[in-house]
Each structure stands twice: as structure tokens, then as C-alpha cells.
Structure 1
Amino acid sequence: MSGPLSDFPAGARAAGEAALGRLARQQRLRRRELASTTLPFAGGEFALASEDITEPSAWEIADDRHTLIVHLDGHMRRLRTCIDGGAVCRAPAQVGEVWLVPAGARYAASAEGGRIAYAEVRLRDDWLGGLAGADAPQRLRPLMKQADPLLHGLIGRLIPLAGQDDDLAGLLRDSLAQVLGLHLLREYAAAPVPPPDAALPARLRRRLQDYILAHLDQPLSLAGLASLAGLSTHRLLPAFRCSFGLTPLQYVIAQRLQLACRLLADTGQDITAIALACGFSSHSHLTSAFRQRYGITPRQFRTAARAAPPD
């Protein structure tokens, strides 16, 4: 597919590498990009793009990051792909199929069809190594036209986050990226990856719990919680789930909603003020999360709580 994240004109590879200090190149020939959106995260970048390939189109990728390409929509009459000079795949992409270009490998493709939409995820090798608990580079197997419903579903969850900048969206984005990375390691690593360590020690569990409860009205991030625990974000996510039975995102939302319930029932604060005091970005943000969890709005909850007879 194409490269919405970085484009270099033909012949500029040496200059680009010298300027950027890295081996990275993407070149699109006869390109007609309709739209693109980029979402950075700790381990790399996620891009969503649409293009018109009614004219013959070609792509090349050579990057020191792992590149995952997921076809999301649109018809192709033909598609020819090759990774590192290996076997050539001559079959159009179907919705949900993925291509995986390992770090350092060369990808070349040519296609023709209509309007298409696709996603690209680029993952730094050191970040993927951290997920695996290893300092050495993580080798992944190249993939072409691979059906993977989980990867397709994760991309679908990432897409709406491109327009959100609140801390809950950030926690969800980082969590989804880690799940995606762990899935790649489990299913497509060239060598087996050992399972992560188990639960947090009791003192770290209490430290995280106390900190979250004391800062529900402030932005919380996976990186900040990991720093508090003295762990990498890669180690924190599975350990947190093992200790609390929830991801950090799920736990933070649950605690914020519990605080909102207490304030709705026991105070006369307006709902917007309660939303902000609980760490939600707005009245509507709280209402959406509240309805999703409890099936009613905050106003309906307050009315019912006030109508209930005292214990």
C-alpha cells in the first residue's frame, strides 16, 4: 500500500537517510491520495488513508520499523506484491487481509482498481522488543494476503481515536497498540516469545490504586502509571490486568463512574461540574460512559437516588 507517514522523491534516499539518521524510505509512484490521518503512539505510528487507484499505481517500502498494512475497503482489479525479492503474490486484497513487512525488509507493490481505504501501523523494533521482554531485535515473518480478524478488529477500534485527545482515549490507544504488538509477537514472530511476568507485588498494587483514586480529576496515562510502578509500559499492562482483573483504562473508568455516582447521589453539584471533577472532559462524555456502563443517564440516576427511601 502507500506511505502517508513519510514520502521521499526518487533519488533522495541517501540524502534523506543522512538527514534523518535512519534507514527509512517510502516512495509512491503515480499517486492520488484522497485523504490521510496519522495517529502517533509510544511504539510508532498509525495511519489511515484512502486513495484512487483507477490509474496503475505502485508503492515501495524500506524501513527500519515493522510495517503492518490492513486493507479496509475498496475494490482492486489487480494487485502484485513482493517482500524482499521473495515469492510474488498476485491476488487483489480483500477487506481485513493484512500484509506484514518486517523491519529492514523491502516491499514492492503495484495495483489498479477503484477507490481504496487501508491502514498502516509502523512499530519500532525496540518497542516490540520491550513487549517481548528482550533487548535483542524481534524478527517477524513476512506476510502477504493474510486473513487476521483480530488485527482487523484492533484497527477498527483505533480508527475513531484519531480525533480524540482526552486521557481515556490515550489509555485506550496505548492499550490497543500493546495488544496489537503482543498478537504480532505471538502469531508471527520468527522465534517463540516467553509469556510476561504475573501479578504486581501488593505494595505496587496499593501504590497504583491510591494514586489513581487521588487523581481521578486529572489526566492519567499508561506511561505515568508505569513510571510510578517502576516498570516499562510493556510490563505494566499484563501485570495490572492480572492484579486488578481489568486493564488500566477499564479500572480508571470504573473508579471515575463510582465517584460520579457518589457525587450525583450525595451533592447538589450540577452534572457538568461532576463530570470535570471525575476526570471526564464534558457533560456529554460522562453521560456516554455512564449510559454505556449502567444503561441510564446521570440525571436519571440522580432522580432515582433522591427518590429512594433512606436506609
Structure 2
Amino acid sequence: MAEHDTLLEAQGLGRSFGGKPVVANVSFTLRAGEVTGFVGANGAGKTTTIRLMLGLLRGKGQTLYLGRPLLAWGAPGRVVGAVLGGVAGHPGHTVRAHLRMVAAGSGADDHRVDELLELVGLQGAAKMRLSGLSLGMSQRAGIAQALLGDPPVLILDEPANGLDPHSLHWLRHFLRGQAAAGRAVLVSSHLLGEMEQLADQVVVLTRGRVVATASMREIVEQAASRRTVTIETPELQALAGSVAAQGGVFEPSGEQRATITGLDRKQIGDLALTEGIPVYWLHEEKPSLEDFYLRVAEEEFKIS
């Protein structure tokens, strides 16, 4: 399977509750070799959309997996694996027993169970009961369960909720590894800082509608064009003229401070050096994924 092949297409998904639309005309694609961040505030419709994609809810539109509806595949678990909040099973079952039971129903053998326990780092917890798992361990067990059928598409709904830094670090690197292996990975989250480190592209959902789809490269490029540099110098007026001559915008913000847009930190530092202007402090701030999200969400609210 070639990298960046389209593995999933969500087409015009919609769902209403009590006559009120909660998801409206949601469309996007997932490609092999990429992690897609499905981002939005709590209540934006992320979980409802994922359940529509998996056929767990009825609604408008359709989702195609490798060009076909999920029900057209004889073994859906070999097409898509989903983690919707850790692992669900009898609390008295051990991790290995639970995974073996699920494997038997999906046509996977016990060897696959042991392979996945090692992959997600739970080989030492294989005999623990599900009721005794920490949140992070439960997420790992859920991922192992989702991968039993070796599916090309992996979907996780808010997997970072409540995880400690160590578990977040593991999850980030694990999912990047799954994408590198050729899977298409969808991760829903409202933790935008985490998505900034994980995703190749983001789909922004606001009030049940997709308001932006962009690659992280595009977001970084937009951020570069909107960077702000703060500088402290005793010669503000002299620097202001030099900055204007280079096409930058100079705005004093204090007795010896100013903010500059249109030029980056290196350009400003070189300019000050050339002009012999002393600089006491120089700081560059680029908009983040959170800034991008807030901007497109605010534009959506204005339109509505």
C-alpha cells in the first residue's frame, strides 16, 4: 500500500438529536502514513461523528473504507480498529484472557495477542484484571484490542484524556509509529498542544461542522507569516525607521519596548547589528495550533 493512499472517506455525515442537528455535512479523508487530528471543543460533535463513521449511529452520509462501506467488508475488524475510551470487558477478566476472547471472535490467533501485548508494553500486565488497570494501561489494552485484526485504519476518540506525561509521551510515539507503518490514524482531541506535536493534518470541528482542514505544514507556514517579535532597545526611534525600510510594522509597547510584525527575529537581530543599535531583549512568538483553531472557530461564530 503506497504512502498517502486514501484509506477512508467520510462523505456528508449528519445526525440530529431531538430535531436539532449536532453534526452537519461532515466530510474529510484519511490517508495512509498520516495522523489526522480531529479537533474541537467538548460538545463540538467529534464523538458523534466517529460513531457515525463506525456505523454505531444512524444518520446522513456514508463512510467508505478502502472505497467500500464498512458493512461491505466481511471482517470489519480487519479494516478499522477503534478505541472509544480504553478497553471494555468483564472487570474480572485478565488482559490476556480478554484479548484472546476478542481475538477468537475476529479470527486472530493467540500468537497475535502476545505480539500486541509486547507491542503496547503490557506483557508484564497480561495477568492483571481489567478492573485493576490504570487509565494509561487501559488505553494501551484498548489499542491492542483495536489492532487484533491488523487493520489499515485506526481511530481513537480522546485517547489523551487524563493521561500522565509518561503515558502521553508513549501514546504520541506509538501512534507516529503506526502511521509510519502505513496506517491511517485519526485521533480526536480537544488538547490542541498535544495535537500540534502529533498530527500531520487537522480537521477542525465547530458546532458539528468542519470549519477548516489543513496540514500542519500549512499551519506552520501561516504561523510564520503571523509571527510577532518583541524587542527591548534604548533606541526605539532609530530601529523603527530601519524596520519600516525593510517592510516591517513597528509598534511601540513601552518606554524601551516594541512589537514588530513582518520580519523574523533573525532579520531584526541582523538589522540592529548592522545599524549599531543595542538590543537588550529579543523574543519571537509564532501562533500555535490553538491560535489557528481559535481564529477559524471565531470566524465560524461570526458567520453564524
Q: By the TM > 0.5 criterion, same fold?
A: no
Query: What's the TM-score once normalised by structure 2's chain length?
Result: 0.26
RCO comparison, higher one (Cα < 8 Å, 6+) = 2
* Structure whose alpha-carbon radius of gyration is higher: 2
Query: What's the TM-score once normalised by structure 1's chain length?
Result: 0.26
